[in-house]
Amino acid sequence: MKILSAGQIREIDAKTIHYEGISSLELMKHAAGAFYDWFTKKYTDKNDAILILSGVGNNGGDGLMVARLLHKAGYRVQACVVEYSENYTEDCAHNVRRVKAENIPFKRITKEKEIPNFSEYDILIDALFGTGLSREITGIAAEVIKKMNESGKTIVSIDVPGGLFPDKKTTFAVEADETVTFQIPKLALYLPDNYRFVGNVTIVNIGLSEKAIAEASTNRYLIEKKDIRELLKPLSKFAHKGTQGHALIIGGSLGKTGTVCLASKAALKTGCGLVSAYLPKCGTPVIQTHFPEAMAIEDDNSAFITHIDYDISPNAIGIGIGMGKREETQHAFYRFLQKNALPMVIDADGLNILSLHPEWLDLLPPKTILTPHPKELSRLIGEWSDDYEKIEKATAFAQKYRLIVIIKGAYSLIIDSDNLYVNDSGTPALATAGSGDVLTGIIASLLAQGYEPGHAARVGVYLHGLTANLTQQTIHPRSFVASDIIDNIGNAYFTIENGMIKK
Ligand SMILES: NC(=O)C1=CN([C@@H]2O[C@H](COP(=O)(O)OP(=O)(O)OC[C@H]3O[C@@H](n4cnc5c(N)ncnc54)[C@H](O)[C@@H]3O)[C@@H](O)[C@H]2O)[C@H](O)CC1
Ligand SMILES: [K+]
């Protein structure tokens, strides 16, 4: 799904009105109706006292229309306009008149003492500003937002939290629990710096013109299940282990050989035909006991890797996990990089060693996948002042070395040449020991199966996250461990293929 800028969304809005021959008020009706459908499914108690805080733009118009729908359905509603400007849009002004005509409790707020006592309400609906925000918020709107954030009440934002800039850094905005956004994802909703403003994000369809959306150009995308379904390779009836690819996982050191076990097992469960693990001697009994399907190749050293030599012919490599950064290991890694031309995914200490020797980055085959978490990323590209700068610097880095960079996080970002992909599968349950090792194994497996590296990155990240969505009801997020990811890779494939179970 395309991620678009506020300007592009405005254009699609106008084109929809033109192409579909509907009025802007009708489009607002669709938007308010879509929000209402979502809201009434989630909040079913009609005794909840709901306060709707609208602005004077079309986002405010949406809010007032929602107030009308909720009132009609029997919810306890109080509507307010926070009059931060006298320039009402036509559709907002229309809804103010309708709210009054329908005898819905209504209040204008122009100064601080008119702000209602939020403690009398259960849910605050934020319709203060949407994608039309053009400058920092001041005056009465800022006072209202400050009080909303201090209220401790459930806050649900319409389209975007009031004050969130869709395309640049935000420092002050409504801190919502839920954001229900209209049809087109906005990048700001998925950036870690903005999580405290955005809360959970739901995208609802409002009937924008598909043609208009198709005409908008972008290089930013939110990954959808159907995209992944299209990328999955069919399983041939005549498949045998020799045709499904051979992944080699390289890593481990004394006390950290479990990393290689997890990655190897994840690789096999992701569908490659063969998995070999290269580890120091101390790892051999561990992997052979816990994961007999893998073939183990031993380093000469008992505790860490000192050279990476093997006489097998894998199709792809996953390297770096649990490997440590000892001098000998660094040299072994360097000599390996000098001769390796296979598709590869590098994680953890592999990344840390590269950040100690940035000149070795030139040795990586094009489209090598790096999977840093933010700390590892900053060692590679330096510090950033906000998420936008982080993306800019990571993109420049990825392009300079022709790499694919996966920035791991609640929403992982995949940078592949000019393109940015946002992944929203997954839950906080994935923040668990070994989760990254499993991702390395999944991606190495997909590379070994012949997936183009950009596809392997997207499919891998999506599959990995989906395992957590699928077990939300059966495994408590606190008790979810990396092995649960591995155990549910097959279910994730089923879900993607069938589209049966919704994430
Ligand atoms: N996506 C769609 O196709 C649809 C969107 N809808 C809703 O419309 C808003 C966008 O509405 P817009 O009128 O453009 O602006 P806002 O309501 O977001 O902004 C309010 C208004 O205030 C002015 N303004 C901007 N910044 C400030 C500021 N810091 N202080 C004071 N005033 C400010 C600005 O000029 C705006 O006019 C979108 O989010 C959706 O909720 C449609 O309802 C359906 C189709
Ligand atoms: K809003």
Taking the CA atoms of 466, 468, 471 and 473 in sequence, report the sign of the dihedral they define.
negative
Residue 499 in this model has a pLDDT that exceeds 80: no
Helix or strand (DSSP H, E) at 292: none
**Residue with CA at minimum distance from ligand 1 atom 15:** 132
Lining ligand 1 with CB less than 6 A are: 9, 13, 27-28, 31, 55, 57-62, 84-85, 89, 129-137, 158-159, 182, 208
Question: Measured from the CA of 91, which atom of ligand 1 is nearest?
Answer: 43
Evaluate whether 114 touches 108 at the Cβ level (below 8 Å). Answer: yes
Pick the closest to residue 115 from 196, 50, 197, 51 (CA basis). 51
Q: Which CATH superfamily is domain 6-218 in?
A: YjeF N-terminal domain (3.40.50.10260)
Model pLDDT, residue 501: 47
**Residue with CA at minimum distance from ligand 1 atom 44:** 28
pLDDT tens, residue by residue, 290-334: 999 999 999 999 999 999 999 999 999 999 999 999 999 999 999
Work out the mean pLDDT of the chain and round it to a whole number.
Answer: 96
Q: How far is CA 309 from CA 21, 23, 298, in A?
A: 67, 69, 9
Residue pointed to by tokens 């893998």 = 294
pLDDT level of residue 79 (50, 70, 90 thresholds): very high
pLDDT tens, residue by residue, 375-398: 999 999 999 999 999 999 999 999
- Angle separating helix axes 348-356 and 374-381, nearest 10 degrees: 20
pTM, full prediction: 0.96
pLDDT level of residue 83 (50, 70, 90 thresholds): very high
Model pLDDT, residue 166: 85
pLDDT level of residue 498 (50, 70, 90 thresholds): confident
Distance CA 30, CA 340 (A): 55
ipTM (interface pTM): 0.96
pLDDT level of residue 104 (50, 70, 90 thresholds): very high
Q: How far is CA 349 from CA 31, 224, 371, in A?
A: 48, 31, 11
**Residue with CA at minimum distance from ligand 1 atom 2:** 13
Q: Both tokens of residue 23?
A: 């009025």
pLDDT tens, residue by residue, 197-241: 999 999 999 999 999 999 999 999 999 999 999 999 988 777 787
Pick the closest to residue 221 from 476, 14, 418 (CA basis). 418
**Residue extents of the structural domains in the chain:** 6-218, 228-232+244-498
Distance CA 91, CA 225 (A): 36
Distance CA 163, CA 166 (A): 9
The rounded radius of gyration (Å) of the Cα atoms in the chain is 26
Question: Measured from the CA of 31, which atom of ligand 1 is nearest?
Answer: 44
**Smallest-distance ligand from the CA of 82:** 1
Question: Measured from the CA of 61, which atom of ligand 1 is nearest?
Answer: 43
Distance CA 39, CA 75 (A): 11
**Residue with CA at minimum distance from ligand 1 atom 4:** 13
Query: Which are the contacts of 31, defined by CB distance < 8 A and separation ≥ 6?
Result: 62, 65, 159, 182, 206
- CA–centroid distance, 192 to ligand 1, in Å, is 24
Helix or strand (DSSP H, E) at 330: helix 327-339
Q: Is CATH 3.40.1190.20 correct for 228-232+244-498?
A: yes
Query: Which are the contacts of 456, defined by CB distance < 8 A and separation ≥ 6?
Result: 343, 345, 369, 443, 446, 447
Q: What is the DSSP letter of 148?
A: H
Q: Both tokens of residue 86?
A: 């006298």
**Residue with CA at minimum distance from ligand 1 atom 40:** 59
